[in-house]
Chain A
């Protein structure tokens, strides 16, 4: 089969397609977006009619994937780490229902928070759900694990989690493809009650999950992704998880480590392999990107006296992603050092594009808010979060998808008037609508600005579920028609925008201002497609 140069994210997508995938479900989120985009662009996926349209949010994506699995076909659902919080309810419960067709959940974590609000480690949620977790160390394993994930899933009728991090997701390497498998045919579950989690049934289903734990552990012991790599110097034994294995071997000639290593790519942890390492070696060093997940488990509650080094004892930093230089230091090697960054260099933070509609919204809002006071603007997740930085300094919060509206409502309940929310169109349909209904039901004095650029812009301009529907959605939820105002955010309309914002800020109830102008990045692309 052919060899391809693929991002880690793309390798997972190709692996899933080749494994007989029938549908991929996702909401865009860095660093996971490229998995779904690859399937959307794949001619093979097109010819097989593999479902790949974006979902409204991670929860709807997870549930749709579970539905496809119910119907017997193979489904993958992809998200960034914080997306798994949104999808946590169906994710955890899918472990109880089990699956019919193979179901693989791919979650991309973002240690060092390159494009995220935290660096949570999805392995904890995989363990919480009590399902097998796969963690590739390189792009080939990413491909192989996408395939193997469906095998494990259908073998034990369980969902499987693939956990990657930013570095692997966004790094390219050669990947060898394997043979293309057929899709499953539509087959309904044998047991008509398998997916009915009424307490009496759920208790039985939970027992099945508990009984499966020993199978998952046995599988880990013999998994090709878990290896004991022996070496002569037993003063130290190393557990290297996922991509950390590459940072380890980078530090040795021909990539052969001096110390015994257990390379971990499948969880639950392979107990026998780790026990061997523990009894053979003097000290242990745990290398893992993300939280000290394995390190905490091995240390346990009672200190056994064994020295276990890692992120908890300061051998490695407690936060941020690993790199080969940090691992070199942990091994006690003399690090090479380049030259310092000269003082003349200044920071260049990301910024809103020139001509972006969010700019016009913030210039108008800043002026309108002058009469209403400071620190009253809640915002959300998207390009417009950059409104927190100079020259705008317009917003005072960014917590999770949709929180702008609900936080503004809560602050209004506390007596903050006016409480303002700034949210994007796609974030509004992701998780803003429900909060708007809360506000409408109590006629809270909140002013909600939906800065509608008709795209999921920050992640690369994906199709927004909200496009062309925002006004009708707001009216449908019950916002008074006279308080749904639509603006065209352009510099020439500045005065009119300020006037309308002031009017709605002064109104003692729910108002929605929709500032609508397409993203400056996606607009020319669409125009070109129409021309062609």
Chain B
């Protein structure tokens, strides 16, 4: 088993939390994981990405080669389109549809979504809306992870345990809100199917 994932978003949107949850879940399953992330300057409202590699055998490169990512998981629609050079021919784009507009020339949202839907394997959800509906507006990143869980080769319960471990320090309420968000994200895909 080997899965290469590009996590995409804007600094501060919580892609490192997604990476940490998947990482903890992969460790629990005794899988190898390598995860390269961006710190420093671009964290201030700029584009950020993380290369996340999961495998049942040892992993060499910290970076995913071009054309080999199985998934682009993006918490922001335009950011999902920054990484097609990494996507494999059968790879999936899974993205939130709520834009993060902090630049004057942000493109037209309808055109962006049309472009996203032109790729072969695509899942789009409004993660912000689902997060709000479920009473945890800050957890749209985890909603998105829930949606992606259908396509991850890691059991759902391990992701749940990842959330329990990651947010343990922040108290039961935060853990439960994130568990609800994860489930809501996963179910949003079931509803669509």
* Chain A residues with a Cβ under 8 A of chain B: 5, 30-31, 33-34, 114-115, 167-168, 170-174, 243, 246-247, 249-251, 255, 323-325, 328, 335-342, 344-353, 383, 386, 458-460
Instruction: Tell me whether B59 is interfacial, beta carbon within 8 Å.
Output: yes
Chain B residues lying within 8 Å of A323, measured Cβ to Cβ, are 61, 63, 65
Q: Which of B109-142 contact A (CB under 8 A)?
A: 111-112, 115, 119
Instruction: Tell me whether B45 is interfacial, beta carbon within 8 Å.
Output: yes
Q: Are A338 and B69 neighbours in the complex by a CB distance under 8 Å?
A: yes
The 5 closest A-B pairs by CB, nearest first: A336-B67, A30-B40, A115-B40, A350-B46, A250-B61
Chain B residues lying within 8 Å of A324, measured Cβ to Cβ, are 60-61, 63-65
Instruction: Give 14 pairs: A residue, B residue, CB < 8 Å, sorted on A.
Output: A114-B41, A167-B36, A168-B62, A171-B36, A173-B33, A173-B59, A243-B62, A246-B62, A250-B65, A336-B88, A338-B69, A338-B84, A344-B112, A458-B40
Q: A250-B61, A337-B66, A349-B46 are in contact. Are A173 and B34 (CB under 8 A)?
A: yes
**Alpha-carbon gap, A344 to B47, bound state (A):** 15
Chain B residues lying within 8 Å of A33, measured Cβ to Cβ, are 39
Q: Are A341 and B82 neighbours in the complex by a CB distance under 8 Å?
A: yes
Chain A residues lying within 8 Å of B88, measured Cβ to Cβ, are 336, 338
Number of A-B contacts (CB under 8 A): 155
Q: Are B102 and A351 neighbours in the complex by a CB distance under 8 Å?
A: yes
Q: What is the CB-to-nearest-CB distance from B50 to chain A, in angstroms, rounded to a whole number?
A: 9
Q: A250-B61, A348-B102 are in contact. Are A353 and B44 (CB under 8 A)?
A: yes
Residue among A168, A250, A337, A350 with the highest chain B CB neighbour number at 10 A? A350
Residue among B43, B51, B62 with the highest chain A CB neighbour number at 10 A? B62
Q: What is the CB-to-nearest-CB distance from B167 to chain A, in angstroms, rounded to a whole number?
A: 16
Residue ID in chain A nearest B120 by CB atoms: A339
Instruction: Tell me whether B144 is interfacial, beta carbon within 8 Å.
Output: no
Q: Which of B1-57 contact A (CB under 8 A)?
A: 10-11, 23, 27, 32-47, 51
Residue ID in chain B nearest A167 by CB atoms: B62
Q: What is the CB-to-nearest-CB distance from B108 to chain A, in angstroms, rounded to a whole number?
A: 8
Q: Are A352 and B44 neighbours in the complex by a CB distance under 8 Å?
A: yes
Chain B residues lying within 8 Å of A325, measured Cβ to Cβ, are 65-66
Instruction: Tell me whether B106 is interfacial, beta carbon within 8 Å.
Output: yes
Residues of B in contact, count (CB < 8 Å): 53
Chain B residues lying within 8 Å of A114, measured Cβ to Cβ, are 38, 40-42
Residue among B37, B45, B65, B79 with the highest chain A CB neighbour number at 10 A? B65
- Known pairs A170-B36, A170-B37, A345-B78 / 4 extra A-B pairs, C-beta < 8 Å: A173-B35, A249-B60, A324-B60, A350-B42
Q: Are B66 and A246 neighbours in the complex by a CB distance under 8 Å?
A: no
Chain B residues lying within 8 Å of A335, measured Cβ to Cβ, are 65-67
Residue ID in chain A nearest B114 by CB atoms: A344
Q: Are B85 and A339 neighbours in the complex by a CB distance under 8 Å?
A: yes
Q: What is the CB-to-nearest-CB distance from A152 to chain B, in angstroms, rounded to a whole number?
A: 26
Chain A residues lying within 8 Å of B155, measured Cβ to Cβ, are none
Q: Are B46 and A460 neighbours in the complex by a CB distance under 8 Å?
A: no
Residue ID in chain A nearest B66 by CB atoms: A325
Instruction: Tell me whether B68 is interfacial, beta carbon within 8 Å.
Output: yes
**Alpha-carbon gap, A256 to B103, bound state (A):** 46
Residue ID in chain B nearest A386 by CB atoms: B44
Chain B residues lying within 8 Å of A338, measured Cβ to Cβ, are 66-67, 69, 83-88, 91
**Alpha-carbon gap, A408 to B65, bound state (A):** 46
Q: Are A250 and B85 neighbours in the complex by a CB distance under 8 Å?
A: no
Chain A residues lying within 8 Å of B103, measured Cβ to Cβ, are 346-348
Q: Are B107 and A171 neighbours in the complex by a CB distance under 8 Å?
A: no
Chain A residues lying within 8 Å of B10, measured Cβ to Cβ, are 348
Q: What is the CB-to-nearest-CB distance from B51 to chain A, in angstroms, rounded to a whole number?
A: 8
The 8 Å CB contact of A5, one of B27, B44, B78, B102, is: B27
Instruction: Tell me whether B192 is interfacial, beta carbon within 8 Å.
Output: no
Q: What is the CB-to-nearest-CB distance from A372 to chain B, in angstroms, rounded to a whole number?
A: 28
Residue ID in chain A nearest B45 by CB atoms: A351
The 8 Å CB contact of B81, one of A34, A170, A172, A342, is: A342
Residue among B40, B85, B105 with the highest chain A CB neighbour number at 10 A? B40
Chain A residues lying within 8 Å of B91, measured Cβ to Cβ, are 338
Q: Are A172 and B65 neighbours in the complex by a CB distance under 8 Å?
A: no
Residue ID in chain B nearest A7 by CB atoms: B37
**Alpha-carbon gap, A80 to B71, bound state (A):** 33
Chain B residues lying within 8 Å of A386, measured Cβ to Cβ, are 44
Chain A residues lying within 8 Å of B47, measured Cβ to Cβ, are 347-348
Q: What is the CB-to-nearest-CB distance from A524 to chain B, in angstroms, rounded to a whole number?
A: 13
**Alpha-carbon gap, A167 to B45, bound state (A):** 21
